[in-house]
Amino acid sequence: MNQKSSQSQSQTQNKDEGNTKNQSQSQSQSIKSHNADSDNLTVTTAKEPLPKSEKKAKSFDELQTGKGQYRPVAQVVGNWLDNINMDALNYLNEQAENIFYRKGVTFTVYSDAQNIERMIPFDIIPRIIAASEWKQIEAGCKQRITALNAFLHDIYHDQAIMKADIVPASYVYASGCYEPWMMGIELDKPIYSHISGIDLIRDETGKFCVLEDNLRTPSGVSYMLESRNISETLLSDIFADTPIMGISDYPNRLKACLASSTSKYDPQVVILTPGRFNSAYYEHAFLAHEMNVPLVHGYDLVVEDSKVYMQGIRGKVQVDVIYRRIDDPYIDPLAFQSDSILGVSGLMSAYRAGNVVIVNAPGTGVADDKSLYPFVPDMIKFYLNEEPILPNIETYQCRKPDELKYVLDNLDKLVVKETQGSGGYGMLIGPTSTKKEIEEYRLRLLENPAGFIAQPTISLSTNPTAVSDGIAPRHIDLRPFVLSHGDGSVDIVPGGLTRVAMVEGSLVVNSSQGGGIKDTWVVDDSHLPSSTKKTNGQADRCTPASLDSNSSAHTNYYNRVQPLEAGYETLDDAPMILLLSTASHLIWLGRYSERLYYYDDVMKKLIKDDLKKSQVKHLISHLGFDVDEDESLRTMKAQMLSDLEKNIIPNIVQSIDDNVQEAKGVIGKDTAELYNLIKRLSSAGTYRAATLQLHACNAAMKQEHPTVTGFWQLGRHFEQLERAVLLEEDSIEISLEFKYWINELPENTRWRELTRLANQMIRSKKFSDFELISKEFNIILRQGV
């Protein structure tokens, strides 16, 4: 086979796909759209500030009473803490960190110049809530979200609460999240916020209060579930002695909630993500995997005849429910922000036609606007004719002149937040701010008073936390996750995300400022004397997690969980849904995996001095090394090694990681964990270890779903074929292998067209026929991307 011209194998995936510009824009928009879908949330609390002459009230201790005794519901954990030494406790936290590290449980800090990805801190000492207390939380959250959903339906229809002058119309229309698009749309099921997060704190008396509502795209539930997995793994003995309410069925509850949002039987559900640059991408992939539904990007979906379809390898599949994790401005460039490439053109037309459900609904954010937060108790009374179970925190509305004056006079005592802000960004914490910061914020406040609210500072409740010098109290909050079903029922798993301020004295649980997380145990206290517990008689009794439920996680140990097409009698009959874009990423994963093997072998030969000058020059001229061929052999080898270590191998490893991230929805969690180690080993400069780790990854990929394995193998063998051609080596055997894997792919896909070209190349052995295969191969790769 004659090669007409020297080619470089240093081509990159983005160059082949021609999407570098789009990827950059996608990253930028994904970062910009983090506001409502962020794990990096700051807790600010409210209470009338005390005069300086008064002492600050003591925080409520979650585990101990004022007399230093453990609360009855926390006695088992208290006994454990009394008998464990700090070395053992720190070792448990190190094990927990290693588990998060291995799984890639990270978040992104957008305030960093490079949007650095960090591991979220975890503390092994749990936060404990008695089931009798949980009843009040559950009842209060159900009441609150029911009223908020009624409010959302009202403002986009009759607007009765505005006509009654209970909520000023000007407040609603001024909200940046109010969407005129939603006026008059009759939803199949009149629920707007199906998935909500209600942020709660305890005041000094131990009373739960609502800090804020999160109704757009609340995140953090994956941290809740991963925290529980760690507790069950590392604290199994305590679990055996404590009746802890289970939360592991949340993904099933979530999927049932999503399915209930439409009248269609067995609807096709997808999760729409802005992509791997979003701070909560780990959660998007986690939930898609746990629910067995496709994780899609905007480019995976198309709208035809006011219906939404996803582009799979077997053709288009209609989508019925979209759980979107993208902010309103980006979901449809024809309806909202015109330059968005994260959303789906025409999505709102399909939504208005009733052919698809968007969860949560567009325009839902108006209900969690901080300027409307003070009116939620009035909403509860107006729509439900009930008194609020969970109270609000006193809030000053800066749009009111008298309250603005008070805020300006007390900026050093208050917490001031943007009404549209979230994630801890754009806020002032008066007691911890400098005079310069306060004065700069004062100017912002005077420029746009309506864009801010203020709350007094309160000392959050504390929980014992393992720190560097022992066990110490640290401030915490709580976010329960609320599921609102299409029939009006509300479901809450007994637990939530407890966030902890790891810095001594800090009230900020923001992960970007050092905050961490704890597992939240709701413990059945029905066996305790009635005098030791509180109850309000609301909500049903919780059911403790049983041994069977704890062991149920192992039932699918050997079964690969994959997104399946809806509408089939049994799961065995349902075909796997593999998106065209995901198939492309699997192929590139195979290509870069094979490329890493090869360059590792080249590096080994260079180090062992096993390459002659002619071989070195052959590699340089045909594979595009950044080396001067006129130099001595020793110099050329040194330059090749430098190019491999500084450029080629790090770029390949990064490309492997990029494609693993994009394919997370279809590969097993264990396989993803194995791949996570490759990048970390490479970052430490241990390239040989990274390549050895790749052997474990390849073994895992061979055990994935046959369709997943088939596309990955196709990429591996195309890489081998291309390299053989570039190096002018015999390619007959690898051509036959390549043809074999083409025939292993599903029938009626465009990939099967490569069979004819492969046969032609095998017969002719001409470079021109390989060029035909390569051209067609790359054209197919760009499908759906």
**CB-based contacts of 115, cutoff 8 Å, min separation 6:** 31, 108, 109, 277
pLDDT digits (tens, 9 = 90+) for 775-785: 888 888 776 54
User: The domain 397-457 is classified under which CATH number: 3.40.50.10600, 3.30.70.260, 2.60.120.200, 3.30.1490.270?
Assistant: 3.30.1490.270
Distance in Å from the first CA to the final CA of the chain = 33
Q: How many Cβ atoms from other residues are within 10 Å of residue 514's Cβ? A: 15
Residue 661 has φ and ψ, to the nearest 5°, of -60, -40
The phi and psi torsions of 157 (rounded to 5 degrees) equal: -135, -100
Average pLDDT on 386-406 reads 94
Region 345-373 average pLDDT: 95
> Per-residue pLDDT averaged across 248-270, rounded?
96
Average pLDDT over residues 455-459: 85
DSSP helix, strand, coil percent of the chain (3-state; round to 5) = 45, 15, 40
pLDDT of 431 > 90? The answer is: no
Pairwise pLDDT comparison (408 vs 746), residue with the higher score: 408
Q: Are strands 321-324 and 195-202 parallel, antiparallel or unpaired?
A: unpaired
What pLDDT score does 589 carry?
97
pLDDT, tens digit (0-9, with 9 covering 90-100), for 493-543? 999 999 999 888 887 787 666 789 999 999 999 887 654 444 443 333 333
Pairing, β 357-359 against β 321-324:
parallel
Task: Check if the beta carbon of residue 192 is closer than 8 Å to that of residue 152.
Answer: yes
More confident residue, 195 or 467: 195
Evaluate if residue 32 carries a pLDDT over 60.
no
Who wins on pLDDT, 569 or 109?
569
Q: What is the pLDDT of residue 74?
A: 94
Question: Which has the closest alpha carbon to 197: 133, 155, 137?
Answer: 137
What six digits make up the tokens of 758?
């492969």
- Phi and psi at 77, nearest 5°, equal -65, -40
Minimum mean pLDDT among 63-77, 123-137, 759-773: which range? 759-773
Q: Provide the 3-class DSSP secondary structure of residue 450.
A: helix
The whole-number pLDDT of residue 562 equals: 72
Q: Say how many CA atoms lie within 13 Å of 170 toward its Cβ.
A: 4
Q: What is the mean pLDDT of residues 163-167?
A: 96
Residue type, 759: N
Q: Biggest alpha carbon distance in the chain?
A: 93
Residue 40, pLDDT score: 40
Per-residue pLDDT, 513: 67
Q: What number is the average pLDDT over the span 223-243?
A: 92
What is the chain's alpha carbon radius of gyration, rounded to the nearest angstrom?
Answer: 29
Half-sphere exposure of 248 (CA within 13 A, CB side): 19
Average pLDDT for the chain: 85
What integer pLDDT is reported at residue 27 of this predicted model? 57
* Neighbouring residues of 713: CB distance < 8 A, sequence distance ≥ 6: 590, 741, 744
219/190 Cα distance (integer angstroms)? 23
Q: State the pLDDT confidence band at 68, using cuts at 50, 70 and 90.
A: confident
The 3-state DSSP class for residue 690 equals helix
Under the banding of pLDDT at 50, 70 and 90, the label for residue 115 is: low
- Residues 122-132 have a mean pLDDT of 96
Q: What pLDDT score was predicted for residue 13?
A: 61
pLDDT at 535: 40
- What mean pLDDT is predicted for residues 364-375? 93
Pairing of strands 481-484, 195-202: antiparallel
What angle is formed at CA 766 by the lines to CA 761 and CA 770, rounded to 5 degrees? 55
Q: What is the pLDDT of residue 503?
A: 86
* C-alpha to C-alpha distance for 243 and 236, rounded to whole angstroms: 12
pLDDT at 50 over 60: no
What is the mean pLDDT of the segment spanning 469-482? Answer: 94
Q: What is the mean pLDDT of residues 549-553?
A: 45
Mean pLDDT of 684-712: 91
Which residues are 89's β-sheet partners?
A: none
CA-based nearest residue to 332, from 349, 319, 345, 351:
345
Residue 423 zone, left/alpha/beta (φ > 0; ψ -120 to 50; rest): left
Strand 295-296 relative to strand 269-272: parallel, antiparallel, unpaired?
A: parallel
- Render pLDDT for 593-625 as a digit per residue (tens, 0 to 9): 999 999 999 999 999 999 899 999 989 888 888
Paired strand residues for 592: none
User: Tens digits of per-residue pLDDT, 20-30?
Assistant: 444 445 555 65
Mean pLDDT of 229-256: 94
What pLDDT is stored for residue 540 in this prediction? 38
Is 610 buried (19+), middle (13-18) or exposed (0-12) by CB count in 10 A? exposed
User: Is residue 182 pLDDT above 80, yes or no?
Assistant: yes
Quickly state the pLDDT bin for 575 (edges 50, 70, 90): confident
Mean pLDDT of 461-479: 93
> Residue 428's pLDDT is what?
87
Please write the tens of the pLDDT for every residue from 614-656. Answer: 999 989 888 888 888 888 999 999 999 999 988 999 999 999 9
Per-residue confidence (pLDDT) for residue 530, from 0 to 100 = 55
pLDDT value, residue 539: 35
Does 190 score more than 80 pLDDT? yes
**pLDDT category, 107, cuts 50, 70, 90?**
low
Write down the domain spans for the chain.
13-23+578-781, 33-393+458-554, 397-457
Residue 92: per-residue pLDDT: 95
- Distance from C-alpha of 537 to C-alpha of 539, rounded to nearest angstrom: 7
